[in-house]
Chain A
């Protein structure tokens, strides 16, 4: 690979040029469908379907806690059916996408960075190039596209489970009927609540997978370098999720 991110280069200009060249290579690699196309489904399964257990685990307990917390806040001040509104809105628009993405930043971001980092330091990336494959087309594009497509999928399922967990908590542990919960759920509902969460999730998927790829392919220094860049991938992935979360709130709300 001619262009590597000059993250530690002395000159900021060189560093920016390196970043630009890296992303330009990735965009150009999008046209090489013959290379990344056959790999996409496998990556969607690995990054998305295989991440469902952790995402669902988090969603389940988020739904339970949110129902109990909102009941505690609303009791004696606000009609109790607002529990449904708070559970639905907050899980669909914020907690579902963000908590799922943060969990996947650890699982997916670390996985990608460690895999590509190991490939880099053991010259497997160079070997790929000598076999006339473009590493961005073979390694980066299928992972980033899989993240972009599968984070919303995982988020949608996690949101469904979170709301269901909130409903089950409300009817079993709180003095609330299904009708009241649904009334609360529908009272402030807008279709935008759903697509807002899914758009955010998709952007989080791009950020997390890109960070994994960037850090993985710029790994140097053997096992220590792999460990260092894997940590960086998770930290920067989480940071980007929070930055993008604020960005979408400002732009779309």
Chain B
């Protein structure tokens, strides 16, 4: 289980998170939605220790992430796969080596690594792409390799940072299916950051909306669809009238 407990985070004068509290239960996919710049990706990076809260704590499986030493953090990261917004593939390495890097760290034998790479690429429908380089791949293929790199580690959690941003609707739907398939095949707990409501409805068990540094509403997909909260309604319907993204940030006025 992942818990945000009254998490505050600022970058210089800009406050991004202001008392974020949220529980992400195991075995489900929780989707974080919200206007641009409301701290969704920042929240995600706290889970894996890439960022440290200014105040409050992030607790993963009973351990406070910011209290972990180097070894503890490595163990924690061993349980978490991270799919980056722009895939963040190592562009000097082939697809196979991108996936191999994390597996080597876990001390797997070369034969097992090769099998794991092939299987992970098969899951994301990129079988046989081991020798290709990131520069030769489309945006959608890169994201699928990023997903393959994450699932190859057999993580307990996978964090998806805007997995469908910048993709055409068909490729977005393919990525959505892969996320659902990943959860079904590996039983992974997912945290998905997105502002694509189709993705949120397709992959999410629960949806939480970030607003002004905290959670505006959290609920099941049906609860969010039926919400009467004007801010959440405006966002999920994508209406341009009403609030702006600036108003949704910390210090904004509704």
Pair B78/A122 contact, Cβ less than 8 Å: no
Pair B88/A129 contact, Cβ less than 8 Å: no
Which residues 116-152 in A have Cβ within 8 Å of B in the complex? 119, 122-124, 126-134
B80 contacts partner chain A, Cβ-Cβ < 8 Å: yes
- Point out the residue from A1, A28, A124, A129 that lies within 8 Å of B90, measured CB to CB: A124
Residue ID in chain A nearest B153 by CB atoms: A131
Q: B: which residues have CB within 8 A of A? A: 45, 48-50, 52, 70, 74, 77-78, 80-82, 84-86, 88-91, 101-102, 105-106, 149, 153
Nearest-neighbour CB distance to chain A for B137, whole angstroms, equals 14
A2 contacts partner chain B, Cβ-Cβ < 8 Å: yes
Pair B78/A132 contact, Cβ less than 8 Å: yes
Pair A129/B50 contact, Cβ less than 8 Å: yes
Residue ID in chain B nearest A8 by CB atoms: B12
Query: How far is B166's CA from A240's CA once the two chains are assembled, in angstroms?
Result: 44
- Point out the residue from B70, B82, B89, B106 that lies within 8 Å of A134, measured CB to CB: B70
Pair B105/A132 contact, Cβ less than 8 Å: yes
A28 contact set on B, CB distance < 8 A: 70
Pair A130/B48 contact, Cβ less than 8 Å: yes
B102 contact set on A, CB distance < 8 A: 131-132
Nearest-neighbour CB distance to chain B for A118, whole angstroms, equals 8
- Point out the residue from A2, A119, A122, A131 that lies within 8 Å of B86, measured CB to CB: A122
Query: How far is B88's CA from A126's CA once the two chains are assembled, in angstroms?
Result: 8
B80 contact set on A, CB distance < 8 A: 130
Query: How far is B70's CA from A134's CA once the two chains are assembled, in angstroms?
Result: 9
Pair B82/A130 contact, Cβ less than 8 Å: yes
Pair A124/B105 contact, Cβ less than 8 Å: no
Query: How far is B88's CA from A192's CA once the two chains are assembled, in angstroms?
Result: 49
B82 contact set on A, CB distance < 8 A: 126-127, 130
Pair B77/A124 contact, Cβ less than 8 Å: no
Pair B88/A122 contact, Cβ less than 8 Å: yes
B45 contact set on A, CB distance < 8 A: 126
A1-24 vs B, Cβ < 8 Å mask (1 yes, 0 no):
110000000000000000000000
Query: How far is B105's CA from A128's CA once the two chains are assembled, in angstroms?
Result: 11
Pair B101/A123 contact, Cβ less than 8 Å: no
A2 contact set on B, CB distance < 8 A: 49, 52
Nearest-neighbour CB distance to chain A for B217, whole angstroms, equals 29
Pair A124/B88 contact, Cβ less than 8 Å: yes
9 A–B contact pairs at CB < 8 A? A123-B84, A126-B45, A126-B50, A129-B77, A130-B81, A131-B77, A131-B153, A132-B77, A132-B105
B74 contact set on A, CB distance < 8 A: 132
Nearest-neighbour CB distance to chain A for B125, whole angstroms, equals 22
B50 contact set on A, CB distance < 8 A: 1, 126, 129-130
B106 contact set on A, CB distance < 8 A: 132
- Point out the residue from B52, B77, B90 that lies within 8 Å of A130, measured CB to CB: B77
Question: Given that A2-B52, A130-B50, A132-B102 are known contacts, is A123 also in contact with B78, CB under 8 Å in the complex?
Answer: no
Query: How far is B85's CA from A130's CA once the two chains are assembled, in angstroms?
Result: 14
B153 contact set on A, CB distance < 8 A: 131
Of listed A2, A124, A130, A132, residue having the most chain B CB within 10 A:
A130
Nearest-neighbour CB distance to chain B for A35, whole angstroms, equals 8
A127 contact set on B, CB distance < 8 A: 82, 84, 88-90
Nearest-neighbour CB distance to chain A for B87, whole angstroms, equals 9
Nearest-neighbour CB distance to chain B for A110, whole angstroms, equals 17
B78 contact set on A, CB distance < 8 A: 132
Query: How far is B88's CA from A159's CA once the two chains are assembled, in angstroms?
Result: 43
Pair A126/B101 contact, Cβ less than 8 Å: no
A128 contact set on B, CB distance < 8 A: 90
